[in-house]
Structure 1
Amino acid sequence: MPLPEIAGILAGDAHRRDAAPGPGRWSAPGIMLAGGSGPVMLDSDCVVVADARIDNRPALCRELGLPADAPEAAVIAWAYRRWGEDCPARIEGSFAFALWDAGRRRLLCARDLMGVRPLCYRVEGTTLRFAQSPAALADGADGSRCVREEAVADFLYGRVLDAEGTWFAGVRRLPAGHALVHERGTMRLRQYRSITATPHTPGSDPATTLRGLLDSAVARRARDGENVGVLLSGGLDSSAIACLLRDRRKRAGAAPLPIFSMMFREPRRSNERHHLDAVLATGGFAPHVLDLDGYAPLAGFESLLDATGGPALSPNLACMRAVVATAADQGITVLLDGHGGDEVVSHGYGLLDELAARGAWAALWREARGAADNYGRSRLVLTRRVAARQTRIDARFIARALAPFDREAAPAAERPPAHLLSRDLLAQSALAERLRALARPEMAGGEQAQHHAVLADPLQAYAFEVHAAFYRSMGVTARYPFWDREVVEFCLGLPAHEKLSQGWSRLVLRRAMAGIVPDSVLRRRDKIDFSVHLARGLVRHHHAQISELLASAASPLAPYVDLARAQRTYAAIAADPDAASGRAVQMVWRAVALGIWLETGCGAKAAGASQPREAAA
């Protein structure tokens, strides 16, 4: 279902249901669903609006006695009639929906298990409003718009610490796998389903199983009659999706698969062209490759902020716009995206903690190679950090012995800055306390516990929210085969050694794609860091703008950013962009993105509208 159509339901009009005593009202002017139909009404008492792609629609239609091609919203309505509030747990796929049951005076909102389709809400008095974008609900009943200090601090730090919080005070995010029920003046939030590991079957071949699951996930997201393309980088995840769909199209006698890529020729260390060419050489593709050397990351940045509803922890969206625009110009309406492959399959680094807990230090040293290569750290540093998480006496000894090799084990004064937050913002946002309260995935235990913690991180649902807004603004729908529930839960249930072995991380996916993806891609250990291109673009095209934003006493960043530290950090980047650390580049970019947003009024559109307290300070 094209997102611009559903935006008129859940985002564009910010529809509300008055929960005050008296007849319930459903206000939904201009509602449109796919195909030009209105909201699905089961009868006079039940109406559903939905942004949904239901993977088990045929099975549900058979069980509910519906036509096989029944619209998703109709399937949801009848599922509710059969199972009531438990209906979200019966639906496979990605969805966000709102259902009004007039007979029970009940509003049911639900978001899919992985959180692929976003849903936010705002409660003011007896009124609940819902939307797919937090920005659509940003203005309160009195017209005010207030940005949360905690959200500012979290963004500048580069984390998502609150699963429900958004940029705007009063606007909450419905977490993945949750349902919200507003009934007769009361509201309750509940988790209707959680990610559960599929038990591993000894003696089976995980690679063969994963290949079949991923192939099915790709097929479900590339339906007949849709204009589908694939975002291809030359990495393992996007290559797997592209090659699986290409093979399906070949067997069906379809035209070559359109793929869309962006490339940087310089510096050489971040040039993926040879990996991309290896995939294209296997045939069956219609490639569109954009050379983005020299791009200006802040060009048209205000429109990007408007599209995403505020600064996002995704600096690459600035260059992705050209790629997605090219796809849209080619008539593509659906893009398959390899986003999440790392998180879903898992690198298997929890195996290192399992080995350390057993005192298997020689095996840990051998396996640490793949993790160290991916992190860009030495095995000494990685081994020290794993040892430091253990309680064994030998682990403590190893951690102390290796401490001189790890900068983060040095005194705080000798470490590079971890953030650019001002002291006032640190205190007011209680960032340090909230970070201490947050359980880090690597502290969860062994591989399965760490893997589950990564999948449940609020960052995942947040990323889908940002991506949904971004792609919607481009007139394209993105779909993510790796975030298929069966794929996720199968990978979660695998033993650690199926993911990390002999220094090779994500081994099960490499084995699954053997004979499908070129060997040179299967053997890749590196991950391209695009920070160098971001640094080059900021310095080459926006130096004066950044310098003024970080140096002016009147800068909107003054209450939130340690401007002296920010100036020093940026000066080092400007002196040699190619040598700048990725962390430093990201810190400066986040500060600049926030400053531009504050300068433009944080998305407030109405003339004379109240500005956020922080922007007006």
Structure 2
Amino acid sequence: MRAALADRAQDGAFAEIVGPVGLGVCLSHLRHVDLGEMQPLYDRASGIMLVADSRLDDREALGAALDVPAADLPATPDSALILRAYLKWGDECPAHLLGDFVFAVWDGRRKRLLLARDPMGQRDLSYHLGDGLLAFAPTPKALWAVPDVPRSLNDDMIGRRLMQAMDLRPGQTMFDGILNLPGGHSLSVGLDGTVSLRAYWTPQADPQHVGRDEAYYLAAYRQVLGEAVACRLRDLIAAPGLQLSGGYDSTAIAGLAGPALADIGQKLVCVSSVMPAEYQGTIRHARRWAEMCARDMPWIDLRCITRDGIDAMTDLDRNLAEREAPRSSYGFVHDAMHDTLAAAGARLVMDGHGGDYTLNPRGHAALARFLKTGQLRRFAHEFRAHLRRSGRSLRTTIMLDLLPHIAPWLVPSLWRKRLRPAPAWQGQPVQRQFAEQLIADGLVDPAKLRSAPRDQTAMRARLSETIDQVRSGSGAGAAAACHGLTLTRPFHDKRVVELALAIPEDLYLKDGRNRYLACRALADVYPREFQHRWRRNDDEIPDFQRMVSSIAPQLHAELDRMEQSESLSRMIDFPRLRGLLDARGPDDHNSGWEQETQAALGGYMTARFVEWFRRENR
């Protein structure tokens, strides 16, 4: 297991066996306080042993609650605080912790092991519960080092992946016998076989933020997000990194990081995936916005990558062997970005993920919501402002921003779909019989597929659904960990989520401005041009269509070979996959947002992983 987690053990790996329990930990120090970590911790008086992977925030308040002298706190590592928290609060201790963490506590008095994961699941924790065995680790690959942990794929979960099923299956993974501990949960397992999974936190609005006026939310936005960024930078040993997309979310992090970086005497190493400097074509990309950040934020060190010489097939076999997990269509770009940050000496990496479903919802259906809820004056005002800001025609605005949400039968493309209804999963490369069987067995809810029609005007409900999906999954730290980096996401901070769920939907769009609160609260943080930019994001692979077209011959050859596999052909509709792959030419682009091509490459990556995992290509 230690060998499988070597990338996470830059500062050593240690283990201890006490009776029926063995606990181990991999250490990669982020802060100076981490240098004092001496794990596993064992309190002989109580018979309690603990291991933790953590970055706790608000340590001062926690230390005071645990009667830790203020003078001792700077030298008290997180693991020692968690142990004291368990001794004081027992099973309730996770609810008293703030930050990113997973920990395991063996309580010799109660003959029981307790596992816990932070509220949004920023640190990864997978486990296998078998006959007389509980094994846990950050990744399934590490669990397979234990002989009694099964190493097999679950076809039903592969099918859900292919169909892009969004209905919750908390803890479920692609692998038989392996579960994720959902964020905000703890799991206790006793030697007598008792098992208890409980939620210690559920996403909901913090009461202190509910029912306030706009001025309050502007101040709270800046204060809460600013603290979520600052607490991740305090006491760092090395310069932090940021995947800077040039959008509102990652730029907010870059801008708010300034004061905390001054305190630690470091710069923020930012990496952006852009087109070459000399590019003059029609593909939208992030270079312009990233360079504005570098212009206005002297505390950032901007590095740009253009993906020259790499594509989705680069090092694919090595990647599968190293991680034993599916590679996403964007995996090669993330690897290049992580390599850049690691080479600059970073150990911590942040990104802007989570902004769209917490503090910065895009408000696509806000106009329709004003109309549906009878706010006619507000609708008229926002409709006029929207026309001015967007530059769209009256007809385009009605067809794109109103009718799909309030009268979809009047939209020609949607009307044709009503006349010739097709399953919501039809745009995905999944075999019809396989998909229909998953639905019949209750393993997929067709109303909750990513492509299924939904009421977009229920904007708060959509945020809550997405937050639940995120914290129920495996997190995203594994890819960064392979490069010696620890990923943390400020927009996944518990405090940010609890503020976001209190913000009124009426503030998602105002004066024709989506991301209204962000633009107002951070007016002096964003480059001035951000006040007038439109709502489209720039993709991390803006030339995605060109990239896929360049490897299409190789992909077709691979598909021809894989189609000979009976088990793959039972799940994957290879003719449809080819059709999706060939739907666009190299210059028929949407600046990275080509849905057919995305579906094709995603389907190939899933098929390739299944083939590799089952060794069907040997």
Query: Which TM-score applies when normalising by structure 2?
Result: 0.84
> Would you say 1:513 and 2:518 are equivalent positions?
no
Among candidates 457, 465, 470, match of residue 453 of structure 1: 465
Measure, in 2, the Cα distance between the counterparts of 1:16 and 1:59: 31
Output the CA distance in 2 between the equivalents of 1:75 and 1:29: 18
C-alpha contact 2:52 2:104 (8 A) present in aligned 1: yes
Q: In the alignment, what sits opposite 1:578?
A: 589
- Tell me: CA distance 1:431–1:549, structure 2 relative to 1, closer, same or farther (3 Å): farther
Please report how far the alpha carbon of residue 543 of structure 1 lies from its aligned counterpart in structure 2 after TM superposition. 2.2
DSSP-derived class of the 2:460 partner: helix
Is it true that 1:173 corresponds to 2:180 in the alignment?
A: yes
Q: Separation in 2 of the partners of 1:257 and 1:247?
A: 11
Give the alignment partner of residue 280 of structure 1, picking from 294, 307, 310.
294
Is residue 2:181 matched to residue 1:163?
no
Is contact 1:403–1:409 with CA below 8 Å preserved after alignment?
A: no
Ranges in structure 1 where 5+ consecutive residues have no aligned partner:
18-22, 388-397, 603-610
Question: Which residues in structure 2 correspond to 1:502-541 (within 5 Å)?
Answer: 502-524=511-533, 525-529=535-539, 533-541=543-551
Structure-2 separation of matches of 1:102 and 1:616: 48
**Counterpart amino acid of residue 26 in structure 1:** V
Task: Tell me the distance in 2 between the aligned counterparts of 1:196 and 1:253.
Answer: 34
Counterpart Cα distance in 2 of 1:96 and 1:507? 35
Question: Superposed, which structure 2 residues align to 1:37-436 within 5 Å?
Answer: 37-43=38-44, 45-66=47-68, 67-69=72-74, 70-138=76-144, 144-161=150-167, 162-183=169-190, 184-198=192-206, 199-202=210-213, 204-227=215-238, 228-250=240-262, 252=263, 254=265, 256-265=267-276, 267-284=281-298, 285-293=300-308, 295-312=310-327, 314-345=328-359, 346-349=361-364, 351-352=366-367, 354-360=369-375, 364=379, 367=382, 379-387=398-406, 398-403=407-412, 408-409=417-418, 411-412=420-421, 417-430=426-439, 433=442, 434-436=444-446
How far residue 576 of structure 1 moved from its aligned partner, in angstroms, is: 5.4
| Deviations 1:498-547 (CA, angstroms, capped at 9, x unpaired) | 22123322211111110111122243321124566333223213522433
1:548 maps to what in 2? 558
> Which amino acid counterpart does residue 90 of structure 2 have in structure 1?
G
Q: How far, CA to CA, are the matches of 2:111 and 2:250 in structure 1?
A: 46
Q: Distance in 2 between matches of 1:402 and 1:225?
A: 54
Paired amino acid for 1:502: D
Task: State the alpha-carbon separation in 1 of the partners of residues 445 and 604 from structure 2.
Answer: 23
How far is the alpha carbon of 1:573 from its aligned partner? 3.5
Q: How does 1:538-617 map to 2 (within 5 A)?
A: 538-541=548-551, 543-550=553-560, 553-555=563-565, 557-573=568-584, 578=589, 582-601=594-613
Aligned to 1:475: 484
CA contact (8 A) 2:329 2:605 kept: no
Question: CA separation in 2, counterparts of 1:442 and 1:509?
Answer: 26
Q: Deviations over 1:462-498 (max 9, x none)?
A: 3xx3521101100111221122222221121011122
SS of residue paired to 1:557: helix
- C-alpha distance in 2, partners of 1:253/1:136? 35
Deviation at 1:159, TM superposition (A): 4.0
Equivalents in 2 of 1:404, 1:467: separation in Å?
Answer: 36
**Does the residue aligned with 2:358 lie in a helix, a strand or coil?**
helix
User: For the structure 1 residues 549 and 380, does the alpha-carbon distance in structure 2 shift closer, same or farther, using more than 3 Å as the test?
Assistant: same
Q: Which residue of 2 aligns with 1:391?
A: none
The equivalent residue for 2:32 is none
Distance in 2 separating the partners of 1:332 and 1:531: 23
Gaps of 5+ in 2: 30-34
Q: Secondary structure at the match of 2:49?
A: strand
Aligned partners of 1:343 and 1:454 also within 8 Å:
yes
Partner letter of residue 113 of structure 1? P
Contact 2:269–2:302 under 8 Å retained in 1? yes
Deviates more, 1:255-264 or 1:589-598: 255-264
Deviations along 1:356-412, one digit per CA (max 9) or x if unpaired, are 4424468558757979979xx96424423322xxxxxxxxxx443345566654523
Whole-Å separation in 1 of the counterparts to 2:16 and 2:155: 27
Give the 3 Å change call, closer, same or farther, for CA 363–32 of structure 1 in structure 2: closer
In the alignment of these two chains, the number of paired residues is 581
Measure how far apart 1:564 and its partner are. 1.4
- Answer whether contact 1:304 1:318 (CA < 8 A) is retained: no
Q: Write the distance in 2 (CA, Å) between the matches of 1:165 and 1:516.
A: 40
Q: 1:528 to 1:221 in 2, by over 3 A?
A: same
Q: Alpha-carbon deviations, 1:211-236, whole Å to 9, x = none?
A: 12111111100122422122222111
Distance (whole Å) between structure 1 residues aligned to residue 25 and residue 266 of structure 2? 37
* TM-score computed with the length of structure 1 as normaliser: 0.84
Q: Secondary structure at the match of 1:27?
A: strand
Q: 1:59 to 1:436 in 2, by over 3 A?
A: same
Amino acid of the residue matched to residue 201 of structure 1?
R
Corresponding residue SS for 1:38: coil
Aligned partners of 1:373, 1:460: CA distance in 2, in Å? 34
SS of equivalent to 1:188: strand
Cα distance in 1 for residues equivalent to 2:149 and 2:504 = 53
Relative to structure 1, the CA distance from residue 326 to residue 420 in structure 2 (aligned partners, 3 Å threshold; closer, same or farther) is same
